[in-house]
């Protein structure tokens, strides 16, 4: 199964994984053969990419970090929390909403603690218009995985998760034309955008069901170790660890998502960018804890090895996130290999490594034509 951007999807391709809308309703099930009309409809709904089953690695599963029902219910509750703020509805609605959010956070924490070996392959595929809420849940999940690796208690995880989930709530106070502007922001617009950190802090501080610590995450998630962040240009220890964790996973998830103004950055590129930030923008320990559970080469990625062989990524183990288990698909001279031989690249005697990732569709089509 592979992730394919919608512009590359062609009639006749088979859906590899159910395609859901932002409410969690299934639009097309796995196994459905796509028609021109289906593809057009997906495009018009703003679905940026889907999983397809094109015969290569069709038995490889891309596991979910949290089940869809938890993901969609938390997304729905965050969405209504945001809209209640916008219409300034009565306090009771917010209290009920916040209790639901708290329950959702506990569900996510329990789910993650039950599966300590989980590795994030890809954050989910979101429709562009639902970016905010999908992103909030992803940041929450990625922050929690980092917190679990750092050995945080359940109570600490809860404060981290609440702040991570609502880190951008202050954006409800920033004009839409600035939030959705495709081009570069003017200096004035950028200053208005930067205010979302303080706005978020104030909104959360006023809410009795949110701790000061969680509110602080909203205020400090754009601060950076070197003092080049905002709003207060804090440095090093002045930035709370939870805000640093949220800041770094926020960048990773934003990079790997499709946005209105640019397509997603490949996971391994985002992985390397985050690794380069260690010690500069974020504490190295926190970066390492985060990368421990994030696959640089998600399952289903096609790669070229140092031997010239072409392989598919089958699985990634925690702590070895740049050295997955791969299945050799083609020899160095392009002959198909059908014995499904799998190699863990972190195995002691293994001299193989990934030299490049195959992202070019035409290269891929050449490979596939050799199969038929
Ligand atoms: Fe932000």
CATH of the domain at 230: 1.10.3210.10
For ligand 1, the distance from its centroid to the CA atom of residue 17, given in whole angstroms, is 31
Mean pLDDT throughout 88-101? 73
Mean pLDDT throughout 125-154? 86
For ligand 1, the distance from its centroid to the CA atom of residue 324, given in whole angstroms, is 32
What pLDDT was estimated at residue 256?
Answer: 84
What pLDDT was estimated at residue 132?
Answer: 80
182 assigned to some structural domain: yes
Task: Kindly report the average pLDDT of the chain as a whole number.
Answer: 88
User: Which is more confident, 252 or 181?
Assistant: 252
Lowest-pLDDT range, 6-20, 155-169, 338-352? 6-20
356 lies in the same domain as 230: no
Ligand 1 is an ion; its neighbours by CB within 5 Å are: 168
What pLDDT was estimated at residue 63?
Answer: 74
For ligand 1, the distance from its centroid to the CA atom of residue 208, given in whole angstroms, is 22
166 lies in the same domain as 215: yes
61 assigned to some structural domain: no
333 lies in the same domain as 366: yes
Nearest to 78 by CA among 176, 163, 185, 1: 163
100 lies in the same domain as 226: yes
For ligand 1, the distance from its centroid to the CA atom of residue 285, given in whole angstroms, is 22
Q: Which of 291, 318, 337 is the last residue of a domain?
A: 291
For ligand 1, the distance from its centroid to the CA atom of residue 350, given in whole angstroms, is 42
User: DSSP assignment, residue 365?
Assistant: H
Q: Can you give the residue range of the structural domain that contains 277? A: 68-291
276 lies in the same domain as 308: no
Virtual torsion, Cα 80, 103, 135, 144, nearest 10 deg: 160
For ligand 1, the distance from its centroid to the CA atom of residue 43, given in whole angstroms, is 28
What is the distance between the alpha carbons of residues 101 and 109, in angstroms, rounded to a whole number? 12
32 lies in the same domain as 77: no
Q: What is the pTM of this model?
A: 0.88
274 assigned to some structural domain: yes
Whether 87 shows a pLDDT value over 70: the answer reads: no
325 lies in the same domain as 272: no
- Structural domain count, the chain: 3
What is the distance between the alpha carbons of residues 282 and 290, in angstroms, rounded to a whole number? 11
58 assigned to some structural domain: no
62 assigned to some structural domain: no
3-state secondary structure of 222: coil
59 assigned to some structural domain: no
For ligand 1, the distance from its centroid to the CA atom of residue 171, given in whole angstroms, is 8
Mean pLDDT throughout 126-155? 87
pLDDT band for position 190 (50/70/90)?
very high
Whether 154 shows a pLDDT value over 90: the answer reads: yes
37 lies in the same domain as 177: no
3-state secondary structure of 167: coil
1-30 pLDDT tens trace: 777 777 778 899 899 888 877 666 788 998
**CB under 8 Å to 28, separation ≥6 — which residues?**
15, 18, 19, 34, 38, 42
266 lies in the same domain as 216: yes
296 assigned to some structural domain: no
The CATH code of the domain that includes 29 is 3.90.105.10
45-75 pLDDT tens trace: 777 778 888 777 777 877 778 888 898 889 8
Mean pLDDT throughout 234-247? 97
């Amino acid at each position: 199964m592979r992730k394919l951007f919608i512009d590359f999807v062609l009639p006749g391709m088979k859906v590899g994984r159910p395609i859901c809308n932002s409410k969690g309703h299934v639009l097309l099930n796995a196994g459905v053969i796509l028609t021109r009309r289906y593809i057009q409809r997906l495009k018009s709904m703003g679905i940026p990419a889907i999983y397809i089953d094109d015969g290569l690695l069709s038995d490889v599963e891309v596991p979910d970090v949290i089940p869809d029902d938890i993901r969609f219910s938390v997304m729905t509750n965050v969405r209504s929390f945001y809209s209640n703020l916008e219409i300034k509805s009565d306090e009771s609605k917010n209290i009920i909403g916040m209790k639901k959010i708290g329950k959702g956070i506990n569900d996510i924490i329990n789910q993650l603690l039950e599966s300590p070996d989980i590795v994030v392959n890809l954050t989910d595929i979101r429709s562009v218009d639902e970016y905010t809420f999908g992103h909030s849940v992803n940041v929450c999940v990625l922050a929690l995985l980092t917190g679990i690796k750092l050995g945080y208690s359940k109570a600490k995880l809860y404060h981290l998760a609440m702040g991570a989930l609502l880190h951008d709530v202050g954006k409800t106070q920033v004009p839409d034309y600035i939030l959705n502007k495709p081009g570069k922001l003017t200096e004035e617009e950028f200053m208005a955008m930067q205010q979302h950190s303080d706005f978020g802090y104030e909104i959360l501080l006023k809410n009795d069901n949110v701790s000061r610590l969680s509110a602080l995450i909203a205020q400090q998630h754009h601060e950076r170790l070197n003092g080049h962040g905002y709003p207060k240009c804090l440095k090093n220890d002045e930035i709370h660890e939870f805000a640093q964790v949220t800041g770094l996973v926020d960048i990773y998830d934003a990079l790997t998502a499709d946005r209105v103004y640019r397509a997603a950055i490949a996971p391994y590129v985002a992985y390397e960018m985050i690794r380069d930030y260690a010690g500069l923008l974020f504490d190295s320990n926190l970066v390492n804890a985060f990368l421990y559970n994030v696959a640089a080469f998600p399952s289903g990625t096609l790669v070229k090895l140092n031997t010239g062989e072409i392989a598919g990524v089958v699985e990634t183990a925690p702590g070895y996130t740049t050295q997955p288990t791969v299945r050799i698909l083609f020899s160095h001279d392009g002959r198909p290999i059908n014995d499904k031989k799998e190699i863990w690249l972190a195995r002691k005697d293994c001299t193989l490594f990934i030299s490049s990732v195959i992202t070019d569709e035409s290269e891929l089509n050449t490979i596939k034509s050799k199969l038929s």
